[in-house]
Amino acid sequence: MRLNTLVIIAIGAISIFACKEDNSAEIEYNKNLAEIVEEEKILEFGFDRKNYEFKRDTIKNGDTFGVILERNNIGYPDIFQIAEKAKDTFDIRKLQVGKPYTLLYAKKNKKDSIQKPTTFIYQNNLEDYVVIDFRDSIQAYKSKKPVKYVEKTATGVIESSISSTLEEKGLSQKLAYKMADEIYAWTIDFRRLQKGDRFKVIYTDKYIDDTIYAGIENVKAAYFEHNGDSLYAFEYETDPEKGIIDYFNEEAKNLRRAFLKAPVKFSRISSRYNLKRRIAYYGNKVRPHKGTDFAAPIGTPIMATANGTVVESTRRGGNGKYVKIRHNDTYSTQYLHMSRQAVKKGEFVKQGDIIGYIGMTGNTGGPHVCYRFWKNGKQVDPFKQKLPEAKPISDSLKLEYLEFIKPIKQRLDDIFFLEAEPKIKENTITEDPIL
């Protein structure tokens, strides 16, 4: 009897001990979980949001780095020291009106009567920013927000224009620009699309901080049915060192031409190549005009019409500020009257790269770019030349290219045209003018 009682007591003690052990484990688990939750950080610009107050604003007329900091309780001796330390990383004189900036403050302490910022953050665009941190030792550095790329597909049937078709589906108008200006510029006239023409496209959207839509990064492949033709296009990098990317069809034929039709988008020709033209600027005397003038507002980007090397980027006489590009042993182009150049002598530029901006420097009666075209050292009218096609894909790359596009083409072919497709709301952009 006594033995049974001892057994029962022993079993009870073991049970109590076991329960105690289980409970301790649960407490320890909960404690660890609480610590994990406590340590979880919500970062912005690399700073933990729970430790700082964020004051956001934009650069306004009259704002300078010094004015902004003084307005926020930092004295000029400190401002001078901060600016000196930061100058090798960022020129504080280049703050642009309308650009956003953020001031960080340590969480408020009741004893502090005057709050001073600890950090100044300037955003040049959605992705890039500059941090000037003056908490302890002053430091300045450049950084980028995290970027996410999402591959998507889209289809459409033309009723009136590609822009209206994209708008109805809630898709970015930049898809229209990509197809019209980069992919099919030499094979389809997008101002003469027919009702019933249709397209499929595989493209990549770019997002900043996971949620901020930053536009279309690239078009991977496209298919367009127009005027009875089926036109494929596949993106392919032919020269990684120079970053040259072209679009080729399913037979490896380059869809691009060697030269763009114009160095400026959405411009008009105000004066053509004419060796007997009378110029009002020179008293209506006959003076040869060896260029083609494309009129556009001041500040409009000017593009290189073909791949090549910048041989001149300077200012001279009546030409004003200009850029000259050598494309090969046969062809060169020149772009006059710029407000400013965007490239330097010796740089390699790709077709479509921005090389400068429309201005009125030199002898000119209005804002335009005078586009001059050389063939074998002689200035000629580019519209009367039989211009070469773009460089074809090399034989060594052709087999590699055809293998590369096989799965992409299959995926493109597997996309069906739908009569009624759901509208995509997440990436609607309509700020660009409609084609």
DSSP states along 256-314: SBSS-S-SSTT-EEEE--BTT-EEGGGTTEE--B-SEEEE--TT-EEE-SSSEEEEEEE
Between CA 251 and CA 285 the distance in angstroms is 53
Question: 215: phi > 0 → left, psi -120 to 50 → alpha, else beta; which?
Answer: left
What residue type is assigned to position 368 of the chain?
H
pLDDT for the residue 282:
65
Q: What pLDDT sits at residue 17?
A: 42
Judging by DSSP bridges, how do beta strands 52-58 and 301-303 pair with one another? unpaired
Amino acid in the structure at residue 92? I
Domain locations in the chain as residue ranges: 44-144, 147-257, 268-384
- Kindly tell me if the per-residue pLDDT of 369 is higher than 60: yes
pLDDT tier, 9 (very low <50, low <70, confident <90, very high otherwise): very low
- Sign of torsion, CA 79 84 85 87? positive
Tens of pLDDT, residue by residue over 19-64, are 444 555 555 545 554 444 445 568 889 898 888 999 999 999 999 9
Write down the pLDDT at residue 347. 94
Residue 190, pLDDT > 90, answer no
pLDDT at residue 24 in the model: 53
284 compared with 349, residue with greater pLDDT: 349
Give me the pLDDT at residue 405, please: 96
Residue 271: per-residue pLDDT: 81
CATH topology identical between 147-257 and 268-384: no
* Mean pLDDT value across the chain: 84
Nearest CA to 155 out of 415, 409, 408, 405 is that of 415
Distances from the Cα of 170 to the Cαs of 58, 117, 173, in angstroms? 30, 42, 9
Compute the distance between CA of residue 84 and CA of residue 140 in angstroms, rounded to an integer.
10
Instruction: Kindly indicate the confidence band of residue 110, based on its pLDDT and cuts at 50, 70 and 90.
Output: low
- Categorize the per-residue pLDDT at 120 as very low, low, confident or very high, splitting at 50, 70 and 90: very high
Answer whether 350's CB lies under 8 Å from 244's CB.
yes
Fold type of domain 147-257? Nuclear Transport Factor 2; Chain: A, (3.10.450)
112: pLDDT confidence band, cut at 50, 70 and 90? Answer: low
pLDDT tens per residue across span 196-248: 999 999 999 999 988 888 889 999 999 999 988 899 999 999 888 878 888 99
Q: Assess whether pLDDT exceeds 80 at residue 140.
A: yes
Classify domain 268-384 at the CATH class level: mainly beta
Q: Please list the helix, strand and coil fractions of the chain in percent, rounded to the nearest 5, in that order.
A: 25, 35, 40
Q: pLDDT at position 202, please? A: 96
- Look at the pTM and tell me if it is higher than 0.95: no
Q: What whole-number distance in Å separates Cα of residue 176 and Cα of residue 15?
A: 74
What's the CATH class of domain 44-144?
alpha beta
